[in-house]
Each structure stands twice: as structure tokens, then as C-alpha cells.
Amino acid sequence: MTLTMSLSQDIKQVRKSKEILLMTHLVLGYPSFGINRQVITQMVDQGVDIIELQIPFSEPIADGPVILKANHEAINHGVRVGQCLEFAAEMAAQHQIPLLLMTYYNILFRYGVEDFLEQTKENSIRGLIIPDLPPEEGGQYLAACRRLELAPIQIFAPTSGKARMATLAAHGAGFIYCVARRGVTGSPTSFDENFNDYIKRCRQATALPLAVGFGISNRQDVDLLRGKADIAVIGSATIRLVDQQGPEAVGPFIAGLR
Amino acid sequence: MTLTMSLSQDIKQVRKSKEILLMTHLVLGYPSFGINRQVITQMVDQGVDIIELQIPFSEPIADGPVILKANHEAINHGVRVGQCLEFAAEMAAQHQIPLLLMTYYNILFRYGVEDFLEQTKENSIRGLIIPDLPPEEGGQYLAACRRLELAPIQIFAPTSGKARMATLAAHGAGFIYCVARRGVTGSPTSFDENFNDYIKRCRQATALPLAVGFGISNRQDVDLLRGKADIAVIGSATIRLVDQQGPEAVGPFIAGLR
Amino acid sequence: MSKTGYYGNWGGAFVPEILHETFRKLGVAFIEAKADPDFWPRYVELMGSYSCRPTPLTFAENLSRRFGGAKIFIKREDLNHTGAHKANNVMGQGLLVQRMGKTRVIAETGAGQHGVATATMAAKFGFDCTIYMGEEDVQRQRPNVFWMEKLGATVVPVASGSRTLKDAINEAFRDWVANMDCTHYVMGTVCGPHPFPEMVAWFQKIIGDEARRQILAIHGKLPARIYACVGGGSNAVGIFQGFLADNGVELAGVEAGGKGLASGLHAARLAGSDASPGVAQGYKTMFLQDEDGQMLDTHSVAAGLDYIGVSPILVDLWEQGRVRFSAATDDEVMAALQLTIRSEGIIPALESAHAFVQAFKEVGDLPPEEAIIINQSGRGDKDIFTIADAFSDPSWREFIRNKGEEYADGARQESD
Amino acid sequence: MSKTGYYGNWGGAFVPEILHETFRKLGVAFIEAKADPDFWPRYVELMGSYSCRPTPLTFAENLSRRFGGAKIFIKREDLNHTGAHKANNVMGQGLLVQRMGKTRVIAETGAGQHGVATATMAAKFGFDCTIYMGEEDVQRQRPNVFWMEKLGATVVPVASGSRTLKDAINEAFRDWVANMDCTHYVMGTVCGPHPFPEMVAWFQKIIGDEARRQILAIHGKLPARIYACVGGGSNAVGIFQGFLADNGVELAGVEAGGKGLASGLHAARLAGSDASPGVAQGYKTMFLQDEDGQMLDTHSVAAGLDYIGVSPILVDLWEQGRVRFSAATDDEVMAALQLTIRSEGIIPALESAHAFVQAFKEVGDLPPEEAIIINQSGRGDKDIFTIADAFSDPSWREFIRNKGEEYADGARQESD
Ligand SMILES: Cc1ncc(COP(=O)(O)O)c(C=O)c1O
Ligand SMILES: Cc1ncc(COP(=O)(O)O)c(C=O)c1O
């Protein structure tokens, strides 16, 4: 992926050659930055298209038990926001795929929203996912992202109506993160009729690429998204894998997804 | 003491030759009827003038810890009212001093007040002390005592006023039991100025002999009553003695009182 | 009353002479208080500003629907300060003590409820306070002992007799005969020598006064029946008084059936046939006693109903046929308690739950346009140890075991 | 409000998109309820017939005399059904849930008080109920867990994070994002995303409405000051609202000083200088957090005050200078509790006792013709384990040890 255009253009470019893109996720500093490095290298090597780097927060309200635990352990081991930003810069310098930061709003707020985003930009990060920052509360954030050409990824949910999707899409850039179902990260999703309708509604609401996340953990899930979404998001699954089988297991796992 | 006249006349008769009479007390069936027998024999042998035989009751409201315990243990060992009456008859036949029954009203009430008193008379018992039966509640009891020539001993207390003493005296016979102080049986009494005034008031209220009870446990106490009262009542002290030193200790104890 | 202090054949004042004058003065003070036009309003004001009277009359919509009969209303004495109707009596007597110029109060307690109420009153009025409580009840009701002590009362465990309520009453009398000059004995229920039954009934009639006004306002007419549990009888007499003259209102007292009337392990005086007339603790009533007149041991899951005697007022009303009696077993009580908690979010005291049992048995027979009132004499959270025991709640047991071990460790460390 | 859901710079609604629609509908339902002329009267009627509102305003005569300053009045939220002001909010939200046609409620709880209140409301309204409670709090507050379960609620121990209140809130949100179609989250205090602060404040203003009427009736004029403890802030905002427009009435919030502000072991957000602006749990307020924005562990003897955030409404009033804040240490709280129990026969919850501490410090400075009100948010008997621990009561420890051994024996016998 060449990193010259906007994130959404980049994604559309890659999509021409791939039926579906993969976005993976990890929690910075969990279980350690060293292991994060190994995991990221394997992900990139196995053709992951985008990586979401989550800066741990003590109150990760939208995350399920696996990511929650990773957040808390990272903080308990002393992981600081500054370290996370440096690490992200290091990864961005090393790997040629778009990296995103994912975290909760308080992390930006305490750092100073403008400062945080400027640092993010400087670190060559392409965008951010902030699940507890709806556009109504994110005026300053959205403006700074626009100014800095960072993608403030917006989130659609099955409960979002047409007007709401339009509003969100208008504020979004890069792609839209479509939450596949009710609930938090980490438990399975059934990709049924309702899901198809939902994705159709998402498509109609935006020209941005669609990423689908929450509960995607194997090839079958990814296959089901082909032709419907542009990006499949693998979240808790890799963390669980590293917990259980160590970082070496990530490469083969990714290889088997697509 | 000859047993030909009324109880009060008998008492007055004996008083001519003794500066103070002794009345002792025991709880029937405690620790056993056998020990009651030994104790009574020693009491009579040592010149006790009157004995109060308490039929145990489960709720002896006016008694202190020593007598209370004796009541409960007797009942727990299966002592029955009928046995107590038979035992009293046996003692009356055997000993030539006046015997009284002491108990609470429910014992009479359950037995049938008239029946109980007739049995008492038949058993050659001379009178009764029922601490929870004021004359206002004792109409039937008082009438039957009168009819049967049993002495329904009335009780004066330091809190009884002049009119009250007059009422009580009018219902009484045999002697008046003057409670020496506030409180229940078994703890010491100080025979001070107040006490002297009280006894003076008692004297003025009745021509009946005066017995003083509550807290009399040694020769000194008995000496203080000489010239004031006609009868000194030894209550808890002997029970305590039997508990601690056995029935043999009773004879010497009584001998040393006067 | 046929004779002073009597209700029909029941009541009276069988007190030792040493207390004669005390009772006389108490009787006079009580008569004067009743005659004083300011006294009752002051009492009502106190109960309104210190406790939360009038207590609500709650419509139990879910229970009513479940049984499909009359509407069930619950008189909420549980919402009183200290958690039971005992507060009514105690605060009233507190005003009387103030009037008499005494400085110390004593009381007996079984469940601990009356003890806590008395200790509370004593703290508020600035009286010294001693509470007599059977040693066994001290063990069973430790939380209440804790609060009494924190309220400044001295709690004396009574080790004599059956070491329960009746022995605590005896012991309180023993204290009183020694200290009556400065001390008032705050009798906890409508029992004991005259004027106690009349006095306690008078203060507790505040329940019936309110309930009558409330049911007329809410339901538009009188209730068909009223249910109250009966230990000594104060909550029952309290609510019944509001409706005594209304012959159409059936009055039902519910006693402790314990392990069943046939088992002998119960405290049913008027339901069943185990009790007989007697005189004890200063008054004449129906007692659970043997042929000789010795009082028997009683049993109930509810410590507050576990008593040998019963109000002379109720015995008279029972003889007259005005109040009927039944008994609820421990098992029935636990089931009714569970149902009430789940259905209405209300936790009756184990004592009060007895009234619920009988009401549940009968309410379905009445038509929906009728109403019944259950007097909820107290709240059940005071009973957590008993209730958790009765439900054999495993996590509660584990919690207590861990807590016990923690305390044991603490003690070991301190002694090291 | 400058912007929807904001109080000055504070508040807002920082919620995941999945809940956007739920919050929108909740906001609409709330606005409609407020606009419905029948809603508030129905709420007041419910609180009158099910709980015992209006709760009394009690004149604390002995405490007033002791401190020799203004008259001390106590607003008795402890007399509410379930024992605290939490009932007001919960019953109000219950009516709203009914209106919205939902069938299940969830709630977080720290002290357990809000959990019990919610479980109670759910039983009454017939809702399913799940309560999230930090694992540590489950251990500390087992009696409340027992009652919640008996009331039919499922209590879920939360093992993540500090295993206390804030983690229970997060977990409740996690449940909600999965089940919002049928489920309402009953937020327990004036925190969280808009419209929660406004909604909870609205229901709790019943305290202030009553208190204002009562003090004017009893005292003839407005009070000089009002004291309330501040956890999330609902009891404080509840009573303060009755007097916000009366500039002569000083409003004082009291936070948990724990082991002292200098110790770091406290939960003082606005007293002291350890808190800073932040956004978490869906709203913007002053949080106890580190430089990165990670929330800190807090400490208080009172579980209900042991929270990282505070109501945005209060932060705004504090910035405006309308409400002042101080903190009471655990030790001061135990002393004030003891004094209040002994002097007035009233047992404040540990939370409420914080308000008493500050009032006692200051009331002597006011002249006797003035009055102050202390909001007694709850009753302390729920806290017996904590209070007995804090007083190191030896006979309580022995009781628990014996009880623990008895249970252990029972368990051994069963397994034999
Ligand atoms: C809650 C409660 N209800 C009822 C009773 C029984 O007493 P009474 O029959 O006098 O109302 C008690 C006694 O302790 C009690 O605590
Ligand atoms: C009795 C009591 N008071 C106060 C509080 C603190 O909450 P708030 O500040 O919302 O009133 C709690 C919380 O559980 C409580 O239980």
C-alpha cells in the first residue's frame, strides 16, 4: 500500500486487488511492547492491511473481557501514554501499512486534544478510533483531524438510523467502522439476514469503505464478509491467541484468515 | 411453741420468752427433698421458730438470683406441686413449730385456690406468703384463708404509705412480713435511720407481729433487729450455705445467729 | 372493664407490694396524660417528626393479582424509625417518663426490636438505659445488641430459666423493684400488670387510627378483614382498635405455629388448645404452662412471637368472638416471606410474615371489590442472620465463615 | 445549560454509537414525562404510599444544645423504604421504564444501597434485574447481596479493574450495549451521560422540595446552611435544589477524606486538589486520575462515597461558588457517627455521617436563631459489618467467629 493519498483512497486502491482487507488490533504494552513488535511484524508479513493500536485506558467501556484485561494489565505494568505514542511512531516508521490509534477520549483530553493529534500526525499515524466520542462531543477533535489530515474514523451501529448514519458519515474519513452487533468486543456474531440488511443500510449511507468488526475470529467469518464489507476487523481474537499460544501463533493465524 | 391459738397469738406467746424469733426459708425439692429434711431437722433442733417452705415456680419475680436458681433447678429436676404439699404435711407432722408455704399465685390458681388452701389446712400448715398477690387481687384467697383459719401473711414495703399499710394490715393475719428494702431477695440491707423510721411506721400500722426479711444473713443483722422486729427472716443465706458447704453447715449457722 | 385493669376475666395487676406505689403513680400519670389535651397531639407530633408517621398504607398490587381475591393493603409499620411498631409505644412511654421526672428506663427484649427502640428513645430523651435480654437471644440477635450498646444502653444477658423473653421480663421486674424511684420499666407489649396493657394499647392505637383513615381514603370503604401477628399483641391491638366498633370488619390474629401445633414446639396460646388460664409476670391471661402452672418453653422462628403469654385485651376479644386466631408454622412463614419479597419488594419481619401467611390463605375467597389490611409490624432486614439461616444460604455462610476466620487471625496476631 | 446535557463546562454524553439511539429515546421519554402533568404527582403518590415520603425533618435538640449554635435539623432520608435516598431516584426511573415498555433493568452498586433499591423497584414493577457490583464490594457488603438475591435480582461480581464501583459502572454499560432493546440502565447517581444527571436530579429534588416546605413551617424562615455528603452527588443535588435560588442559604458538600487528603487515600474530588477535569464513564467532570488520564484507586470507610467522579451539576455549582466543598476523614466520621447515635438515637449511614462531621465543625459559629439542615441520606444499620469493624467491637467479633465455626461444623457434617 502506498501512503500518498488519503486513507480512504489508499484503502480503495488496495481493495482493487483484494476482495477483502484485514484490519487487526492490539493493545499497546500488552503483554509487552516487545511482544507487540513481534506480533506486528508477523501481521504485516502475513499481509494485514491496517493495524489498530489501542492505547490502554482504565475505563474501556466499549470493550469486552479480553481487551479489558489487556488494558488493565498494561496499565498495571506501568505503560504510559507517552510510551505508546513513541512506540506507534517506531512502528509507523518500520512498517508500510496504515496504522491507526484506538483509545478512549480521556487519553486525548488529558494530553490536550490538539497536542495529541499533532503528535499522532507527526508519528505518521493515519487516523483514530475513539469509541466514546460521538461527533456531538468531538467538535475540537474533528476540526483538528481535518486540519491535520488525520482520519477520525466514525462508527456505525445496527441501532444507527438513516439520518444518524448520514451525520456520522459526514464527519467521518478513512472508512466507517461498522459494529456488527449489539454488545462489546470479543464474543461471536451471527451474520444473518439482519446483518445483511444492516450492511446494506451502511453502504447506502456512505461512499467510504466499510470495515466490519466485533466477533470476527476465523476464515469463515471473513469469507462471509466478502462482497459485503471492504475490511474485516480482527479484534480480541489475536489477543486471545497471544495469551494462549504466544506471539508465534499470530502469523499462521493471519495467514489462514484469507 | 404450742400450736393451739392463732398464729399471731402463738408468736406473741413465744416472744415473751425470746427477744427475737427466727424464721428461715427453703425451696422445696432443692437440692432435694432429702436434703430439705436434713436442713429442716437442724433448723428445728437449733430453735428456729417458723419455717417458710417455698414451692418452686418458674417465674419467681420477687426473688433474687440464689432463690431463683433454686426454683428453676427444682423444677428441672421434676419437682411437682403435689410432692411439695405432701412433703409439707410430713414436716408439719414431724416438727412442732409453725410452717408456712411461700409461693407465687399461679401455683394456687392452677391447683384451684380453694382446693389448695384446704389441702394446706389439712396438712397443718399455718399460713401462706404469696408475694405477687396483693389484697385487691386476692379476694377469693383471703376469704378462704379466713374460713380455714390460715394466716394470709401480708407484706409491707418501705414504699407502702400509711393508708396502704392499714389496708394490708386489715387483710393480714399471723404477722406482717416487712420487706426491709427495695430490691429482690438475697443482697445485703443497711439498717440505717431510714430503716428505723420505716419499722416505726410498720409498728404504728398494725398490732400484728412484725417479721423483717431481705438481706439478713448473720448475727449482727439479727442483733440490729432486736427491739425493733419480732421475727428475723433468714432467706437466701441458708440456701447459699447449703450450696457451698452442704446441709451439715446449717445447724451451726443457725446456732450462731442468736 | 369489669374491674380496674381487667378485660373481662383477664388482666389485673399481680405485683409485689414494693411496686404498689410505683404502679399507683404510673396509673395516675397515665390518666393525667390521657386527660391532658396537649399530650396526644405532642405524641403524634413526635412520631411525625422523629419517626415517619403516618406510616403508609401500601397497595400490594402484585400479591392481590396473584391471589385473585380482595385487594391487599399493607400497613407499613416497618418504615418506623428503628424498623417496627415498637417505636410507637416506646416514644409514648418516653414522654410519660419525662412527665414523671424519672431519669432511667429499663426494658426487656426478645427479638431485640423493643430493646433497640427503648435504647433509641433513651438516647433521644437523655435517660440512662438498661436492657434485659435472654442469654440465648443475645446470641441469636447480636446485631441488635451491638446497636443497643452503641446507643448507650447497658445490655444485661439473662442466664436464668429458658434464657429468653419471659426471663428477661422477670429480670427487668427485679431491677425495677430495686430502682423504681428513678426508673421506669418500659414494658414492650400489651401485657404485664395494669396499666401496662391499657397504656401500650393507647399508644399503639395510632396504627389503627391511621389505617382507618387511610383505607377509607384509598378504598372508599372499610376493609373486610385485618390480619396481624400476635406475640404479646401490641401491633394487633394497635391496628384492631381502629376497627373494633365496625362489626363488619373481621379481625384476625396470627400466632407462632412453630413446627406445628401438634409438635408442642410453638407459641400458640389462642389458636390450638395448649394454653390455659394463669397468672404470671403480673397479669392473668392464657399461658403455655403445665398442669402445675410452670411455664413451658415455646418455639418460633420469630423471636418476637416466642412468648408464653398474650395480651389480656386479646383474650377478652377472643372470648367475645370479636377476634379470631390462627397459627402459622415456621415453614409457611418462610414461604410467605419469600413470596412477599419477590412480589412487592417489601421485606416483612419474620414476626409480621405470620400475618401474611393467614391473609394469603384466605384472601382468594373474598371478592375483588373488598380489601384486606395486613399489618406489617416490622422490617425483616434486622433478621438477616435468622433468615439466611432459614434459607440455608450458602454464600452467606461462606461470607460469615471467612469473616470469622479473618477475626480469628486478627485475634491471633494481636496476641502474638 | 450552555449546550445540551452540559452544566457550564461539565457533563455531556460520551457514549458509544451503539447506545446513541437508546439515549435519544431515553431523553425523549424523560422530556415527555416531565411535560406530562400526571407524571410528577404519580411519582409523589408512589413515594408516599410505597416509601414514607415526605420523610420527616427532625429537630436534633440534644446535638443543637451540645454545640450551642444554630438549631440542627436532620432530613431523614434514612426512613425511606430500603433505607436511603436512593429509593427516590430508583422508583422514579421505574415509572419511566414502565412508560418506555422495557422489561429489564440493570444497575451498578457500590455500597449495595442502590442495588437493593433497584432490586426492590424491579420486584415491585415486575422487571428482570441484574446488578453489577465490584467483587471487593460483594465481599464487603454481603448482607445487601443477600437481599438483592432474595428480591429476585442476579448479582454479578465484577472482577476487573479495582473491583469496585467504577468497574461495576463499566460492566453495566457493557451489559447495556448488548441488551438495550429491552433493558434500562438505572444509573444510581447524578453522574453518567446526559440525561442521567438531569433525570436523577429531577427525581431527587423531592428531598429539597420537602425540606424547604418543612423548614419554613417549623423554623419560620430559611436555614443558614445545608450539609450533604457527596459520593456521586445525588442526595446533595436533591436537597440543594430546594434552596438554589435562595442565595442566603449556604450549600456545603462533604466528600470522603478517607485517611486524610495528604495520604492520597481518599475520594475528595472538589475538596483538596487531587482531581482534574476528565472524561470517563460517559461524562465530563473532575476525576481522581493520573497525568495520563488513568483513574486512580480511591478510599473511604463509606463504600457509597468511594468513587472517582462527581456530578457535573455540582462541579458547575462549585465553579460558580454556589456550593462549597470540604472533606471528612474516616476517623472524624466514626466520631460524628458515635456522637449522633448517642445524642439523638439516630444512626446515620457512614456516607451521611460525613455531612454531620462538617456541620458539627461549624454549627457552633452560628447564632441560635439560625438553623442548619443536615441531609441524612441513609441509615447506618446496613453498615453493621463496617461499623463494627471500625469500632473493633470485641463481642461482635466473637459472635461472628462463633457463627462462622457453627457454619463450618454444619458444612463438615453435611460432607460426612
Ligand atoms: C416486628 C415485630 N412484630 C411483632 C412483634 C410481636 O410483638 P407484639 O405482638 O406485641 O406486636 C415483635 C416483637 O418483638 C416484633 O419485633
Ligand atoms: C446512604 C448513602 N448516602 C450517600 C451515598 C452517595 O451517593 P450520592 O452522593 O449520589 O448521594 C450513597 C451511595 O451509595 C449512600 O448509600
**Cβ of D82 less than 6 Å from ligand 2:** no
Whether the CA torsion B31, B36, B38, B43 is positive or negative: it is positive
Distances (CA, A) of C221 to B98, C80, C208, C246, C371: 68, 26, 15, 11, 9
Q: Is C44 on the interface with B (CB under 8 A)?
A: no
- For residues C216 and C350, state if they share a domain: yes
Spot the catalytic one: B52, B192, B197, B248.
B52
Q: Does the beta carbon of B188 lie under 8 angstroms from any beta carbon of chain C?
A: no
Same domain, C154 and C248: no
Q: Say whether B61 and C22 touch across the interface (CB within 8 A).
A: no
| Sequential DSSP letters for C348-385 | B-HHHHHHHHHHHHHGGGS-TT-EEEEEE-BBGGGGHH
| Alpha-carbon distance values, C37 to B200, C32, C253, D357 (Å) | 43, 10, 32, 40
Pocket of ligand 1 (CB under 6 A): C 84, 86, 110-111, 113-114, 189, 229-236, 304-305, 349, 351-352, 377-378
Q: Provide the domain limits for residue C276.
A: 54-83+205-389
C181, C287, C292: residue with CB nearest B81: C292
Say whether D47 sits in a helix, a strand or coil: helix
**pLDDT interval class at B99 (50, 70, 90):** very high
Name the DSSP letter for residue C211. Answer: H
Below-70 pLDDT ranges, chain D: 1-2, 413-416
pLDDT in the model for residue A1: 43
Query: Are D213 and D350 in a shared domain?
Result: yes
- Is C touching D (3+ C-beta pairs, cut-off 8 A)? yes
Q: What is the structure's pLDDT at D1?
A: 42
CA distance D22 to C6: 68
> What is chain C's pLDDT, residue by residue, as a tens digit (416 residues)?
458 899 999 999 999 999 999 999 999 999 999 999 999 999 999 999 999 999 999 999 999 999 999 999 999 999 999 999 999 999 999 999 999 999 999 999 988 999 999 999 999 999 999 999 999 888 878 899 999 999 999 999 999 888 889 999 999 999 999 999 999 999 999 999 999 999 999 999 999 999 999 999 999 999 999 999 999 999 999 999 999 999 999 999 999 999 999 999 999 999 999 999 999 999 999 999 999 999 999 999 999 999 999 999 999 999 999 999 999 999 999 999 999 999 999 999 999 999 999 999 999 999 999 999 999 999 998 888 888 888 888 888 988 998 899 888 877 766 65
Concatenated DSSP letters of D304-326: GG--S---HHHHHHHHTTSEEEE
Task: Please tell me the predicted confidence (pLDDT) of residue A4.
Answer: 54
The one-letter amino acid at A87: F
D54 min Cα distance to partner chain C (Å):
8
CA of C351 to the centre of ligand 1 (A): 6
Is the CB of residue B168 less than 8 Å away from at least one CB of chain C? yes
CATH number at residue B104: 3.20.20.70
- Whether residues D225 and D123 fall in one domain: no
Which residue on chain D is closest to A116 by alpha carbon? D292
Say if residue D281 is in the same domain as residue D183: no
Which residue type, as a one-letter code, is found at position B91? M
In total, the C-beta contacts within 8 angstroms joining chain B to chain C are 117
Ligand 1 atom having least distance to the Cα of C191: 10
d(CA A2, CA C127): 88
pLDDT at A214: 83
Q: Are D336 and D360 in contact (CB under 8 A)?
A: yes
In a domain, B247, yes or no: yes
Interface probe, candidates D18, D106, D162, chain A, greatest A C-beta count within 10 A: D18
| ipTM confidence | 0.95
Interchain CB distance below 8 Å, B182 and C14: no
Cα(C377) to ligand 1 centroid in Å equals: 7
Section B11-39 average pLDDT: 97
Contact list in B for residue C161 (CB cut-off 8 A) is 58-59, 72
Angle at CA D219, nearest 5°, toward D216 and D220?
55
Q: How far apart are CA D99 and CA D77, in angstroms?
A: 26
Q: How far apart are the CA of D195 and the centre of ligand 1, in A?
A: 45
Distance CA D176, CA D154 (A): 15
The neighbour count for residue A181, using CB atoms within 10 Å, is 22
pLDDT in tens, A166-214: 999 999 999 999 998 888 777 777 778 889 999 999 999 999 999 998 8
B215, part of any domain = yes
Strands (E), A139-235: 151-156, 176-179, 210-213, 231-234
Q: What is the mean pLDDT of chain B?
A: 94
Same domain, C178 and C211: no
Contact in structure between A203 and A81 (CB atoms under 8 Å): no
**Does any domain span residue D407?**
no
Residue B1 belongs to a domain: no
- Residue D410 covered by a domain: no
Min CA distance, C382 vs chain D (Å)? 9
- Please report whether residue B145 resides in a domain: yes
Q: Which residue has the higher pLDDT, C388 or B108?
A: B108
Chain A, chain D: beta-carbon pairs less than 8 Å apart? 116
Q: Do D32 and D156 lie in a common domain?
A: yes
The partner residue sitting opposite C124, judged by closest CB among D120, D142, D344, is: D344
CB proximity B121 to C under 8 Å: no
D18 touching A (Cβ < 8 Å): yes
D49 at C interface, C-beta within 8 A: yes
| Model confidence pLDDT, tens digit, residues D168-182 | 999 999 999 999 999
D205 included as an active-site residue: no
C382 plus C290 within the same structural domain: yes
pLDDT of residue A184: 79
C222 and C264 together in one domain = yes
The verdict on residue B2 lying in a domain is no
- Whether B110 and C17 lie within 8 Å, measured CB to CB: no
Look at chain A and report how many structural domains it folds into: 1
Considering its fold, how many domains does chain C have in total? Answer: 2
Q: In one letter, which amino acid is D400?
A: I
Catalytic residue among B10, B49, B63, B221: B63
Q: From the CA of B136, how many Å to the nearest CA of chain C?
A: 9
Does A146 reside within a domain? Answer: yes
Q: Give the distance (Å) from ligand 1 centre to CA of residue C350.
A: 9
d(CA C360, CA C373): 11
Please report, as a single letter, which amino acid is at residue A37. Answer: R
pTM score of the predicted model = 0.96
Q: Which of D197, D221, D242 lies at the terminal end of a domain, its last residue?
A: D197
Residue with CA at minimum distance from ligand 2 atom 4 = D351
- Written as nine digits, the cell of D131 is 446488578
- Domain extent for B38: 7-255
* A138 CB within 8 Å of a chain D CB: no
First to last CA, chain C: 67
Q: Within a domain: residue A2?
A: no
Q: How far is B143 from chain C (nearest CA, A)?
A: 18
Cβ distance B160 to C17 less than 8 Å, yes or no, reads yes
Neighbours of chain A (3+ CB pairs under 8 A): D
Confidence at residue C389, expressed as pLDDT on a 0 to 100 scale: 86
pLDDT of residue D142: 87
Task: CATH number of the domain at C163, please.
Answer: 3.40.50.1100
Given D165, D197, D229, which residue is the final one in a domain? D197
Query: Which tens digits make up the pLDDT trace of A23-77?
Result: 999 999 999 999 999 999 999 999 999 999 999 999 999 899 999 999 999 999 9
With a 6 Å cutoff on the Cβ, whether D352 touches ligand 2 is yes
Contact list in C for residue B131 (CB cut-off 8 A) is 16-17
**DSSP per-residue letters across D204-222:** HHHHHHHHHHHHHHHHSS-
Neighbouring C-alpha atoms within 13 Å toward the C-beta of D72: 30
CB contact set of D83 (below 8 Å; sequence gap of 6+):
C381, D113, D116, D349, D378, D379, D381, D382
**D268 SS3 class:** coil
Whether A131 sits inside 8 A of D16 (CB atoms) is yes
Distance C360 CA to ligand 1 centre (A): 20
C322 CA distance to ligand 1 middle (Å): 21
Q: Which residue has the higher pLDDT, B154 or C414?
A: B154
Q: Is C395 on the interface with D (CB under 8 A)?
A: yes
In a domain, D222, yes or no: yes
Per-residue model confidence (pLDDT) at position D154: 98
Catalytic residue among C77, C108, C135, C344: C108
A137 is catalytic: no
Name which residue sits closest to atom 12 of ligand 2, judged by CA: D304
Q: Using CB atoms and an 8 Å cut-off, which of residues 251-310 of chain C contact chain D?
A: none
Contact between B159 and C21 using a beta-carbon 8 Å cutoff: yes
Residue B166 binned pLDDT confidence (cut-offs 50, 70, 90): very high
Q: Is C309 part of any domain? A: yes
Residue with cell 488525520: A150
Identify whether B192 is a catalytic site residue.
no
Closest chain D residue to the Cα of C87, Cα to Cα: D345
Q: Hey, is the C-beta of C345 within 8 angstroms of any chain D C-beta?
A: yes
Chain segment D105-148, per-residue pLDDT in tens: 999 998 899 999 999 999 999 999 999 999 988 887 889 999 99
Verify whether the Cβ–Cβ distance A111 to D293 is below 8 Å. yes
Q: How far is the CA of D147 from the centre of ligand 1 (A)?
A: 22
Q: Which of C399, C413, C415 to mutate to test the interface with D (most CBs of D within 10 A)?
A: C399
Q: How far is C262 from chain D (nearest CA, A)?
A: 28
Helix, strand or coil, per DSSP, at residue C328: strand
Q: Which of D63, D133, D146, D186 is the best substitution to test chain C (most C C-beta atoms within 10 A)?
A: D146
Distance separating alpha carbons of residues D190 and D315, to the nearest angstrom: 11
* pLDDT value for D416: 56
Please tell me if residue D147 touches chain C, with a CB cutoff of 8 Å: yes
Is B174's pLDDT higher than 50? yes
